[in-house]
Amino acid sequence: MTDEKNGTTRRGLITTGAMAAALAVTLPALAAQQTSASTTAAAGGKSDGNASGSGMFTVKDGTQIFYKDWGSGQPIVFHHGWPLSSDDWDAQMLFFLSKGFRVIAHDRRGHGRSSQTAVGNEMDTYAADVAELMAHLNIRNAVHIGHSTGGGEVARYVARHGRGRVAKAVLIGAVPPIMLRTAKNPGGIPMDVFDGLRKAVAENRTQFYREFPSGPFYGFNRPGAKVSEAIIDNWWRQGMNGGIKAQYDCIKAFSETDFTDDLKNIEVPTLVLHGEDDQIVPIADSAQLSIKLLRHGTLKTYPGQPHGMCTTHGDVINADLLAFIKA
């Protein structure tokens, strides 16, 4: 039934009412957590259990790292993929905040709102930046979750800096052990593929950052795929917010870094999640090799799911993450 005067439908009003009711329950709960955290911080509480929101942290070489830090409880630290930012974890940040966790995510140097660095755009420095930030926030007993390039960052951080601070780790669609085809890694991706990425970024980054998420990243190039222009726009927005030099350099970091020793040296329980239709980081040369190197690893794969499954299938991934963290 249509109300001609107001141009609305009864169904629309019912839907709007239902949304309002849901928000009325959810938003106050989230706000209460934030208020509690802010109150403690204002009273002089240290940042090891109560977060204040977001901020900038300057690491030892002068680079400013943007981070979000919400809620209280056991910390979960999220590490984003290339060439994105901490905003790529929106669905996970809100979900785990509502479950009573403290959620933290940063923009890697050169990406998002962090300094557009010309140097230090390689995995050792990425991990060292995380180590400085974790020390600054006094983060311990944390679960570190990394997607794609962020999975490599997690592996290197946990192996080299995380002793005594990390409870568990998660690698999602992650680049370890090594993406590049070499004599020791014959199933890897040829160098000319990565050279093609560099060429696309250098010649017309804005066009490439439309094409990449429109196609293989989210599996939108598959027959019958439900394409979301909003998701594509958000990917483009995040990519264009970073610096081209750092993003160009990062291609070498995520493709050529060998994480074999890092994986062998991780002592904490590690969950490896991977989409079986991942066209960006093929599962056969990543997750299926990583699981053989981890001391305490668990592998879970998802038939038909793409590289960007944390966005396209967030409800499924969040549930599996929660089960692992609580186990």
Q: What is the pLDDT of residues 32-70, one digit of tens each?
A: 444 444 333 332 233 444 566 899 999 999 999 999 999
CA atoms within 13 A on the CB side of 178: 19
- Each domain of the chain, given as residue ranges in start order, spans 2-36, 51-326
Contact in structure between 158 and 166 (CB atoms under 8 Å)? yes
User: Residue 114 corresponds to which amino acid?
Assistant: S
Contact in structure between 276 and 304 (CB atoms under 8 Å)? yes
Q: May I ask the CATH architecture of the domain 51-326?
A: 3-Layer(aba) Sandwich (3.40)
| Average pLDDT of the chain, as a whole number | 89
Comparing C-alpha atoms, which of 119, 127, 130 is closest to residue 57?
130
Question: Which are the catalytic amino acids?
Answer: 148, 278, 307
pLDDT digits (tens, 9 = 90+) for 220-253: 999 999 999 999 999 999 999 999 999 999 999 9
Report pTM: 0.86
> How many Å apart are CA 68 and CA 16, to the nearest integer?
30
pLDDT digits (tens, 9 = 90+) for 254-311: 999 999 999 999 999 999 999 999 999 999 999 999 999 999 999 999 999 999 999 9
pLDDT digits (tens, 9 = 90+) for 77-92: 999 999 999 999 999 9
Q: What is the mean pLDDT of residues 172-196?
A: 98
Contact in structure between 169 and 268 (CB atoms under 8 Å)? yes
> How many Å apart are CA 100 and CA 72, to the nearest integer?
7
Sign of the CA dihedral with 43 first, then 55, 94, and 139 last:
negative
- Position 288 scores a pLDDT of 98
3-state SS, residue 109:
coil
> How many Å apart are CA 165 and CA 180, to the nearest integer?
31
